[in-house]
Amino acid sequence: MGGLAGLLVGLAAPIAVRVITALGMGLVTFTGVTAAFQGLIGYAQTNWSAMPSSVLALSSIAGIPEGLGIIAGAMVARVGMWVVASATRWVVG
């Protein structure tokens, strides 16, 4: 029985190392890109409040803040999907 357990551990250890490494790389990449996006969103919010009130009112009526929010959310979601796909390819391939 000890030989079978040793064989199973020997087979599973390299796969576990690859999975943990891929998850770590994905987490670091996703965290870095998310932090960059948060910085860009903060910059946009700061400059948004510096606009003249008449332009701000017209832009708000036109739905520009909602559109920018949708675009930022889509970019973060796309990066998340890219990280998961690349981590999966790295583990499998």
What is the mean pLDDT for each group of 10 consecutive residues in the chain (93 residues)? Answer: 72 75 74 85 87 91 92 87 76 66
**Do 48 and 65 touch, CB atoms closer than 8 A?**
yes
Specify the residue for token string 């948004």.
48
List pLDDT tens digits, range 55-65.
Answer: 999 999 999 99
Instruction: For 10-48, give one letter per residue: b (16+ CB within 10 A) or e.
Output: eeeeeeeeeeeebeeebeebbeebeeeeeeeeeeeeeee
Dist. CA 73–CA 41, nearest whole Å: 10
Structure tokens at 61: 């009526």
pTM: 0.60
